[in-house]
Amino acid sequence: MTTYQTPHAPFQAPGDPAIRIADQPKGPPPEGNPAAYPAMVQSMDQGIGKIMATLRSLNLESKTLVFFMSDNGAVELGGSNLPLRGWKGQLYEGGHRVPAIAYWPGTIAPAASAETLATIDIFPSILELAQVAIPEGHRIDGLSFAPVLLHGEPMPPRQLFWLYKGKQSRARG
């Protein structure tokens, strides 16, 4: 499994000196280097391109689930979550409702879904897709979204809750 944490603070483009001092600007423009954010996105795009090319060259593309998502909405400075309200670090939808992409040629048909999934659903989904049983006695909070990916079925009804800095939010999934 490969994960990226970019673009994320500290905002540093490839080749930039490392930010190691507590009072250096770490945030997105205008606080930090305005060229860093697009350079980080470009570097991430190139890295994902290399991963995809390697999967193809090793003939593993049809045997590999590629799942791409963000952990939160855009930050207030320089980002947009329109038409949603709110930003990263807020309980409004703009703070946590983000698109995701699942790619597995030959297994997942191209489609779009508006189902509500959460990061806690990734682990049980991977277990189901890999046909691995949850070990006896283990409780997993998330639900598998394999039926959404494989058959376009809806997620079972449930309540999702968020608590951040003493504030609560919930959504029907």
Nearest to 36 by CA among 20, 15, 53, 54: 15
Q: How far is CA 98 from the centre of its chain?
A: 8
What's the pTM value of the predicted model, to 2 decimals?
A: 0.81
Phi, psi of 166 (to 5 degrees): 80, 0
Residue 73 is predicted with a pLDDT of: 83
- The stretches in the chain having pLDDT less than 70 are 1-4, 24-33, 77-78, 170-173
pLDDT in tens, 21-37: 777 666 555 566 678 87
Residue 113 is predicted with a pLDDT of: 92
Sign of CA dihedral 56, 147, 173, 169: negative
